[in-house]
Amino acid sequence: MKPRSPLDALFNPRSIAVIGASRHPGKIGYTIVRNLIESGYTGKIYPVNPFAKEILGLKAYPSVLDIPDEVDMAVIAVPVGIVNRVARECGEKGVKVLVVITAGFSEVGNREAEEELVKIARRYGMRVLGPNIFGVAYTPIGMNATFGPSRIRKGNIAFITQSGALGIALMGWTAMNELGLSAVVSMGNMADIDVVEVSEWLADDPHTRVIAIYLEGLKPGTGQRFIEAMKRVTAKKPVIVIKAGRTRRGAAAVASHTGSLAGADTLYSAGFKQAGILRAETVEEMFDWARAFATQPLPPGENTVIITNGGGVGVLATDAAELHGVPLLQPDNELIEKFRKTMPWFGSPKNPVDLSGQAGVDNYVAALRVAYESDKVDNIVVLYCQTAVLDPIDLAKAITDVAKEYRDKNKPLLVAMVGGIETYEAMKVLNREHIPAYPSPERAVGSLAAMLRYKRYREKLGKQGLV
Ligand code: ACO
């Protein structure tokens, strides 16, 4: 069972007050109430606004103190000048966690107000997320307490972000790309709750399989604690970080954005490595890897087979495998003969297993069966180049069926499809069915490589008796 944590109120509040709930569509305080309602939040929602009787059909209260119920979480979206006053009222009310949307604190040099906010929180035993954030969402309870898009695709990737605008943008982007999220957490200035504490909570969350973090920097002096705590998190589940501010100019931009210390990039790299964190170079890469971790079992071994209908993409995948340290299986004669039976005489049964451009659904299905049934094969990469003889949607459906049939084999399966709009539709089918599909062989292989790195890391911990 998950240990109790002070952050339970942030992810599982029984009731939420929105302080600064607005009567006016388009305003932040209105959008948060609307998102909570539309996302199907199962707890109680209490809009707070001294000038309103009702907001979006819900009774509004002049102050949090007037709410005739316990309040676990207060989302604060009033101007900076009144935040600390309403925070004090929250303390008197017994609120457990404040989600402070309001900007205008330390990120613009207003340190006093931020320090005062933390002091008030400490005095009353409250925790603070923010300030300067777009909110928090946790899909298992249908809670979207953000002013981002109302629709979040449910899934098991937790996304923590130090950038607000990028975070909001990626909420929409993930939904469009069939990426399911368990949680979205905007960190902002991290006056109190930080990336480490949120990661620790998510490490024990049964609805989260992988944690993806957009990180700008850590507070000075917290590096060692970050490494030690994240070691415990990565022993439980994979953590992927994209670290912004790698360059000198990027680091300067970070300082004026969230006030964090971007620091020497090499130090971050070394720290991530020590902590078992997978460092992605781009946002796309971070979510590519997260997609694989979220849907596939960890590789049971290293031996990888590539099945393709195109020699060229097979070669590109082979190059990517070598570059990323993904070992390709050298099939023995018995396996070669089995693969040979799945293809026309001019195909190639070695690895990559090239079914040829003439390949149809049956060829792919037969080759996939061989790969699943062979105990020499640990991981499978399927590549498809669009041809007029094989409809990608038919292939996607067939791959899905075979993968379901062999689910108990626990072998990761990753797919890459190269082609026109139809291949994108087919990839949607696959991704919706929890088979990670990518538009290039390199991205599929790169994602498998990340899984293998994490597998090796866990094995190392296992040898030390740490997992
Ligand atoms: N208690 C509760 N509600 C109150 C109180 C009070 N004491 N006093 C006023 N209100 C009401 C207001 O009347 C208003 O409701 P109304 O529209 O029905 O009249 C509502 O609270 C909001 O107050 P406003 O004065 O209208 O404030 P506004 O909505 O313009 O701004 C906000 C508040 C959004 C918090 C703003 O100060 C702010 O910080 N904006 C930036 C937020 C941000 O960017 N955060 C980082 C996100 S990440 C990113 O970069 C995307």
User: Tens digit of pLDDT per residue, the chain (467 long)?
Assistant: 555 788 999 999 999 999 999 999 999 999 999 999 999 999 999 999 999 999 999 999 999 999 999 999 999 999 999 999 999 999 999 999 999 999 999 999 999 999 999 999 999 999 999 999 999 999 999 999 999 999 999 999 999 999 999 999 999 999 899 999 999 999 999 999 999 999 999 999 999 999 999 998 888 888 899 999 999 999 999 999 999 877 777 767 766 666 565 567 888 889 999 999 999 999 999 999 999 999 999 999 999 999 999 999 999 999 999 999 999 999 999 999 999 999 999 999 999 999 999 999 999 999 999 999 999 999 999 999 999 999 999 999 999 999 999 999 999 999 999 999 999 999 999 999 999 999 999 999 999 999 999 999 999 998 888 88
Q: How many helices (H) and strands (E) does the chain have?
A: 16, 19
Give the closest residue (by CA) to ligand 1 atom 44. Answer: 103
For residue 282, how many other CB atoms are within 10 A of its CB? 9
User: Does the structural domain 8-292 have CATH classification 1.25.40.10?
Assistant: no
pLDDT of residue 262: 52
**Residue 380 β-bridge partners:** 305, 413
Q: Mind listing the pLDDT tens digit for each residue in 432-446?
A: 999 999 999 999 999
* Ligand 1: centre distance to CA 164 (Å): 16
Hey, what CATH topology would domain 297-460 get?
Answer: Rossmann fold (3.40.50)
pLDDT of residue 264: 74
| DSSP secondary structure string for all residues of 402-442 | HHHHTGGG---EEEEEESSHHHHHHHHHHHHTT--EESSHH
Q: Which atom of ligand 1 is nearest to the CA of 134?
A: 47
What local confidence, expressed as pLDDT, does residue 467 receive? 80
Distance 20 CA to ligand 1 centre (A): 5
Distance 212 CA to ligand 1 centre (A): 29
Residue nearest to atom 19 of ligand 1 (CA): 22
Asked if 448 contacts 320 with a C-beta cutoff of 8 angstroms, the reply is no
Check the CA dihedral 313-318-323-328 and report its sign. positive
Top mutation candidate among 49, 108, 258 for ligand 1, by most atoms within 8 Å of CB: 49
**What is the model's pLDDT at position 255?**
65
pLDDT for res 221: 84
State residue 7's pLDDT score.
95
Nearest to 336 by CA among 365, 364, 367: 367
3-class secondary-structure state, position 372: helix
**Average per-residue pLDDT for the chain:** 94
Q: What is the pLDDT of residue 2?
A: 58
Whether 8-292 shares its CATH topology with 297-460 is answered: yes
Supply the pLDDT for residue 206. 97
Domain boundaries, the chain: 8-292, 297-460
What pLDDT was estimated at residue 37?
Answer: 98
Q: Whose CA is nearest to atom 23 of ligand 1?
A: 78
Q: 29 C-alpha vs ligand 1 centroid, how far in Å?
A: 6
Candidates 19, 22, 75: which one to mutate for ligand 1, based on the most atoms within 8 Å of Cβ?
Answer: 22
Residues within 6 Å of ligand 1 by CB: 19-20, 22-24, 27-29, 48-52, 77-80, 82, 86, 101-104, 132-134, 164-165, 168
- Mutate which of 28, 76, 86, 90 for ligand 1 pocket (most atoms within 8 A of beta carbon): 28
User: How far does residue 82's CA lie from ligand 1's centre (Å)?
Assistant: 10
> Using CA atoms in the order 50, 56, 57, 61, what is the torsion angle rounded to 10 degrees?
-20
Give the model confidence (pLDDT) of 448-463 as tens digits. Answer: 999 999 999 999 998 8
CA–CA separation, 45 and 274 (whole Å): 42
Per the structure block, which two tokens stand in for 394?
Answer: 């038919």
d(CA 36, ligand 1 centre) in Å? 17
Q: Under a CB-based contact definition with an 8 Å cutoff, are residues 241 and 159 in contact?
A: no
Q: Are 350 and 336 in contact (CB under 8 A)?
A: yes
List, in order, residues 6 or more apart from 164 with CB less than 8 Å away: 132, 133, 134, 186, 188
Closest atom, ligand 1, to C-alpha of 79 = 37
Query: How far apart (Å, rounded) are the C-alpha atoms in residues 238 and 81?
Result: 40
Distance separating alpha carbons of residues 117 and 88, to the nearest angstrom = 9
Ligand 1 center–CA 101 separation, angstroms: 9
Q: Collapsing DSSP states into helix, strand and coil, what is residue 456?
A: helix
Q: How many beta carbons lie within 10 A of that of residue 266, not counting itself?
A: 9
**C-alpha–C-alpha distance, residues 170 and 11, integer Å:** 20
Q: Measure 103 CA to ligand 1 centroid, in angstroms.
A: 10
**Which amino acid residue places its CA nearest to atom 17 of ligand 1?**
22
CA-closest residue to ligand 1 atom 11: 20
Cα dihedral across residues 33, 35, 36, 38: positive or negative = positive
Question: What's the gap in Å between 178 CA and the centre of ligand 1?
Answer: 32
Tell me, in angstroms, the distance from the centre of ligand 1 to residue 71's CA. Answer: 20
286-299: buried (b, 16+ CB within 10 Å) or exposed (e) per residue? Answer: bbbbbbbbbbbeeb
Ligand 1 closest atom vs CA 27: 29
